[in-house]
Structure 1
Amino acid sequence: MRLPVARPVLPVASPHAHRDRLRDALLSEDNDRGLATGWLPGRLSGKGRALAAELGRRRRDDSIHAVFASDLHRAAETAAIAFSGTPIPVLHDWRLRECDYGERNGMPAAELHEHRDRYLDEPYPGGESWRQAVHRVRRFLDDLPLRWAGRRVLVIGHVATRWGLDHWIDGVRLEDLIDADFAWREGWEYRLDEAHDRLDRTSALPQRSSTSTPPAANSASRSSRVTAGAQLRRS
């Protein structure tokens, strides 16, 4: 299922980067300090604001029908800068948030992510696991065709957001994503359609099996395209 639009575009912009260093990603002040923002609000750095403006120049005339952004400040700030003065609606959704590191939000990123694979299924103390964060993204994808089927949309989120798209739409195992290097580019595009729909609206949380893959699911009646735009960071 490639996101809802006769080709929806889901550009995912993430206001931070670390470890895998998205050098052209939207950078936050915490990135400059080497901190993992997680569920803390965060703020874009000067370079991050310039990159947000560039995102707007690239995408505002790209037939985008709606922009969906994480409600964390750094993502909302990205959307506000990129699409200010345009008629494109910007909708904030908490399900697009980064993984919640709980008591470890704001700690040094290198230390936090050194053993990230331990938290694929085990929640961070006071927070959530990566699998739980990715499951939130699936709920967002479940709802998207209800209003935006056949439309092109753009998503501004975080690492957990992009992993959710890769997992639920392209069928990439989380076990592979959690150890993979992040290859940055200006955007990613995904489609929600009958031939490639991996969203299971009837299942509970995905089973915690190292060999599990996203289940097949019902599909939207019309194809959609989601573009994930460049600015993904690990924060």
Structure 2
Amino acid sequence: MTVWDRPEPPTRPAPLDRERIVAAAVALADEGGLEAVTLRKVAARLDVGPMRLYGYIATKEELFDLMVDEVYGEILPLDRPGDWREALRVLACRTRQAALRHEWLADLLGGRPALGPNALAVTEATLAPLDGVADLDTVVRAVETVSAYFTGAIRREIANLRAERATGLSEREWQRASGPHVTRMLATGRFPALAKFVHDGTEVDAETSFATGLDWVLDAVAAKLARPGNGR
């Protein structure tokens, strides 16, 4: 039985419910990452004994499931997407925006499908515009492909943000600090393709990079869906 199927205990002194528990856990994670979330710390923030929480949540993994579903409520589109491409773009962009607000989400993306009510609503909003566009297996692969792209891109962006905080160096400052080493290595002539990339490549910000990559992936999916025999 999942945590969503299991009823909450009856009301006791010092009002408590899963909504308050999850809100406290999300606040802790926003402040200090998932490692800051323990049942003891959540209980302390709610000013209750830790054992009180076990009537509502059996394990920390269940708590993480509830936290993820809470954030899926932020990912859920405000309006029904007009077509499959918009639906997948909205999913990608709103997931990225949510992860930038709640960096810990990046650590929990890409695992088993989330099964909470908000997550299921997001999945429904994403799949509905794809109904009839292609056979079911092709639709599933399309969604998986786009999800794999934005999950990887989000994790990389969050990793860079964490590295900036850990080192105290912005991306540009880190590049300047690493410049002498990179220059020496490129001067050996062993890395001609990399040298061309470093000297002639155009640097773009994270948002532009994400949007460009997403467009390329969506273009590839569109080309696949347009092939004969894919239900169009």
TM superposition score normalised by structure 1: 0.27
Q: Say which one has the larger Rg.
A: 2
TM superposition score normalised by structure 2: 0.27
The structure richer in helix per residue is 2
The structure richer in strand per residue is 1
